[in-house]
Amino acid sequence: MFTLIGVVIVVVGFALRFNPLLVVTVAGVATGFAGNLPIAKILTIFGESFVKNRYLSLFILTLPVIGLLERSGLKEQSQILIGKIKAATSGRILLLYLFIREATAALGLTSFGGHAQMVRPLVSPMAEAAAENKFGQLPEKTRNKIKAFAASADNVGVFFGEDIFIAFGAILLIKGFYDQNGINLEPIHIALWGIPTAIAAFLIHGTRLILLDRKIKKEIEVYELENENKEVKELS
């Protein structure tokens, strides 16, 4: 029963809101000692687990790295950069990101972007800054809309772009499904037929992104009108 000490450490550590990575590490080491494993064996298990789950480990490491960059002014610097580009608008920035995201995903570079690595610290602040430069202070509703469109640009780009890459898992899954039903298709043919769909997705969502600037302008006008009416009522 003493080997279950790791479970107790995890429960207590999470309840006290300690660092999750530290809690899990301590729980693993404690469980190893409770099971009479030598320290060399415990370290070996940690190393093997890290190698087998290296992509997950890299994802976990991404969050603190992005947090440090934001603390050092990454968001502010991106906003300053966009402020110097007069022609930049929220729709144009997100349209460019959609194109880059879909093109890189089509080449197999699905980890190039992402919500944690790219959208939150860079793309969304840049789109918000472009709208602020053009319309001034943004209401919370408008900021949330820009954030939602930034996230959608990433989702649409990677979802339809990766289906063009022949070695992507979805292509192999489609091939396996057709093989089970007696239909023989080569992965290259499946990937090629993903190109028209990707182009259509870019055109449709790209149009939505272009129209985003009009929606922002309309929301700002309504917001300012409501504030003016509110001030008039307060004065009267």
For residues 46 and 28, the answer to whether their CB atoms sit within 8 Å is: yes
On average, the pLDDT of the chain sits at 82
Q: Where along the chain do its domains lie?
A: 2-52, 75-235
pLDDT at 185: 83
Residue-wise over 170-208: b if at least 16 C-beta within 10 A, else e? ebeebbeeeeeeeeeeeeeebbeebeeebeebbeebbeb
**Could you read off the pLDDT of 31-41 as tens digits, one per residue?**
888 888 888 88
And the tokens for 121? 């610290």
**Could you read off the pLDDT of 59-110 as tens digits, one per residue?**
555 666 666 666 766 667 766 777 777 788 999 999 999 999 999 999 888 8
- What is the share, in percent, of the chain residues with pLDDT greater than 70? 86
pLDDT at 75: 65
Please identify which residue in the block is written with the tokens 């300012």. 224
- Which stretches of the chain score pLDDT less than 50? 54-55
pLDDT at 59: 53
Please identify which residue in the block is written with the tokens 């860079």. 122
